[in-house]
Amino acid sequence: MSVTEMPDKPARAREGKALHKGQQTKAAIIDAALGLATQIGLEGLSIGALAEVTRMSKSGVFAHFGSREELQISVIREYHARFEQDVFYPAMGEPRGLPRLRAMFAHWMQRTSVEIHSGCIYISGAVEFDDRPGPVRDALASSVQTWHAAMKRAIAMAKEEGHIRATADEEQMLFEIHGLILALHYEARFLKNPDSIARANAGFENILQRYGAAPPAAKSLSKPARAAKNAKE
Amino acid sequence: MSVTEMPDKPARAREGKALHKGQQTKAAIIDAALGLATQIGLEGLSIGALAEVTRMSKSGVFAHFGSREELQISVIREYHARFEQDVFYPAMGEPRGLPRLRAMFAHWMQRTSVEIHSGCIYISGAVEFDDRPGPVRDALASSVQTWHAAMKRAIAMAKEEGHIRATADEEQMLFEIHGLILALHYEARFLKNPDSIARANAGFENILQRYGAAPPAAKSLSKPARAAKNAKE
């Protein structure tokens, strides 16, 4: 290290500290924005409302995002990160195939159950942006599709492992499972049906049974897959 | 008819005509309001926006409803009447049991398919009002529940007719079917998945097959129902 570098160091440290502080503030704003968005919707978000909640100046909030759209997209990214944290990553510890698929659904259900009270921006956002093309809609749709793709991969693995019928169609299975999650949210949150969680779980078992419990003709099809799996172990 | 009644007649006719005209105007406002609500949501409805669309004065629109809430409830009632017209009544011509249940689902699908483009206030309204107690939410929820009750009756009849397993749970079946409709709306309208209609139809067949194709043990249970039906005919 040369001496000429010395005078720079405290400045750089200050810069780093300021950057860190800036990131913390931005994270705090996004956190507040996410809380607001789940309650009043992404469309309800405004720099003004957020300034009020965070007790910052409008220009202070604005400096971190530049536009309302950028703020909405940041909220979607944060929601997605938390969704992955709660739903996707914990399931990755489960063995490939049906155990992992079951865990993904269980965590998805768990999160949806919590959101019966708080609201879900993947569901409310879809209604808000289904007829509004643009970057916010794109961010939201791509976030949902990333999750759907992960579910489809888990279904495909369950087929590879011979845990469900080899002829099962990932898209069809996911569509039916997604329907259960949407029905749970709708019926529990809007209609206040008390048995909705049990219904969604029973529906998932029904789907698995249909695709998983191979009928006599298809049973022999899944045997090689099972044998291959056993050979690997 | 006495002569003393004569002078009244034109007045009464005028009154009747005015009432008729008033009802027509109100119907026209509700029609415009329903169009607006499917696009921008029930919450987007305002006396002002409606005055603009119908080219009436705000006070003119206000005179017919008295409040924004009353306007929203009138829109929900009109939506419900049209839903019954499109979905419920045409199916009533089908024989009790599976044919009628199939027809109800087919018409529901048909309406949902049209609403992929226009929006659906049973779905968008649920998101708007799921955390807002009050008469608008109550009107919306009771309207949805009326339809769900009709579906459950159709499922119960299909059991009585021996068309589906006697052990089938109406609530569970309806929950799963409702999920398909919600997934269709979400995936076709928001994610733009092209195969959503086919997926929902395939999902319905999967549900029917699960509850309909009675397993060996349950088959004998449905025989008495079938025999009773044949005896009636």
Among A48-52, A53-57, A184-188, B45-49, the range of highest mean pLDDT: A184-188
Q: Which residue of A has its CA nearest to B126?
A: A190
pLDDT tops 70 at residue B21: yes
Q: Which residue of A has its CA nearest to B132?
A: A190
pLDDT tops 90 at residue A170: yes
Coil, strand or helix: which one is A203? helix
pLDDT at residue B12, as a whole number: 63
pLDDT band at residue B91, thresholds of 50, 70 and 90?
very high
For residue A91, the Cα-to-chain-centroid distance in whole angstroms is 13
Please check whether residue A197 lies inside any domain of the structure.
Answer: yes
pLDDT band at residue A231, thresholds of 50, 70 and 90?
very low
Q: Which residue of A has its CA nearest to B121?
A: A127
For A60-92, how does the pLDDT look when each residue is reduced to its tens digit (9 = 90+)? 998 998 889 999 999 999 999 999 999 999 999
pLDDT at residue A178, as a whole number: 98
* Contact flag A190-B119 (C-beta cutoff 8 Å): no
Please check whether residue A225 lies inside any domain of the structure.
Answer: no
Please check whether residue B3 lies inside any domain of the structure.
Answer: no
pLDDT (mean) for A1-5: 41
* Contact flag B183-A187 (C-beta cutoff 8 Å): no
pLDDT band at residue B92, thresholds of 50, 70 and 90?
very high
Domain residue limits at B80? 69-217
Please check whether residue A174 lies inside any domain of the structure.
Answer: yes
DSSP A55-101: T--HHHHHHHHSSHHHHHHHHHHHHHHHHIIIIIHHHHTSPTTHHHH
**Tokens 């929006």 map to which residue?**
B119
Chain B contact for A142 (CB, 8 A cutoff): no
Chain A contact for B200 (CB, 8 A cutoff): yes
Please state, for a pLDDT cut of 90, what percent of chain A lies above it.
67
For B166-213, how does the pLDDT look when each residue is reduced to its tens digit (9 = 90+)? 999 999 999 999 999 999 999 999 999 999 999 999 999 999 999 873
pLDDT at residue A14, as a whole number: 67
Residues A83 and A39: beta-carbon distance below 8 Å: no
Chain B contact for A173 (CB, 8 A cutoff): no
Chain B contact for A152 (CB, 8 A cutoff): no
Please check whether residue A180 lies inside any domain of the structure.
Answer: yes
Which value does ipTM take for this structure? 0.83
Please state the pTM of the whole predicted model: 0.83
Q: Residues for chain B: how many in total?
A: 233
pLDDT tops 90 at residue A189: yes
As a whole number, the mean pLDDT across chain A is 86
Smallest Cβ–Cβ distance between B195 and the set A119, A171, A176 belongs to A171
The Cα B58–Cα B34 span in angstroms is 17
Please check whether residue B52 lies inside any domain of the structure.
Answer: no
Among A205-219, B36-50, B154-168, the range of highest mean pLDDT: B154-168
Chain A contact for B124 (CB, 8 A cutoff): yes
* Contact flag A119-B129 (C-beta cutoff 8 Å): no
pLDDT tops 90 at residue B160: yes
Please check whether residue A44 lies inside any domain of the structure.
Answer: no
Coil, strand or helix: which one is B94? coil
Please check whether residue B143 lies inside any domain of the structure.
Answer: yes
CATH number at residue B127: 1.10.357.10
pLDDT tops 90 at residue B140: yes
pLDDT tops 60 at residue B30: yes
Chain A, chain B: beta-carbon pairs less than 8 Å apart: 111
For chain A, the domain total comes to 1
Mutate: best of B123, B127, B196, partner A, most A CBs <10 A: B127
pLDDT band at residue A13, thresholds of 50, 70 and 90?
low
The residues near A76 (Cβ < 8 Å, ≥ 6 apart) are: A42, A121, A125, A136, A139, A140, A143
pLDDT at residue B9, as a whole number: 52
The Cα B50–Cα B125 span in angstroms is 18
Among A10-19, B54-63, B206-215, the range of highest mean pLDDT: B54-63
